[in-house]
Structure 1
Amino acid sequence: MNYTFNSTKELKQFIAKEVLSSAEAIEYLGISRARLSQLIKNGKLIPIKKLQRDSLFLKIDVEKKK
């Protein structure tokens, strides 16, 4: 899926609505942090960005796991 943004404002709105942190993904899915780590390790949920202590996910990818 390709996304196009006409302004920084549009990009920020997209991120606010469509990007989830690990904590948000855990809450949305109703799973433990360990289970989330397992999904990532097994390639069943792929973060769009990995940070030192967190990962970011597209909401659409998390919704597919629900």
Structure 2
Amino acid sequence: MVKRPVEIGAFQFVVLSRLRATQLMAGCTPRLAGVHTAAVMAQMEVADGQVKRLYSEEGDDLIR
């Protein structure tokens, strides 16, 4: 189980993890070492601060 950092809200953690898991399943390279499912790897990346939320000029949510 991945522990959510206290500075990230539960809803934001879930949304960012889902978006990152989608990227991982599409073939993006994981940012952390290890062999995990896309969902677990995404949660680990968000918890570690490897994934951040960005906003475009049009107001779309992006992750980097």
- Same-fold call, TM cutoff 0.5: no
The structure whose residues are more often strand, as a share, is: 1
TM-score normalised per structure 1: 0.31
Structure with the larger helix share: 1
**TM-score (normalizing by structure 2):** 0.32
**Structure whose alpha-carbon radius of gyration is higher:** 1
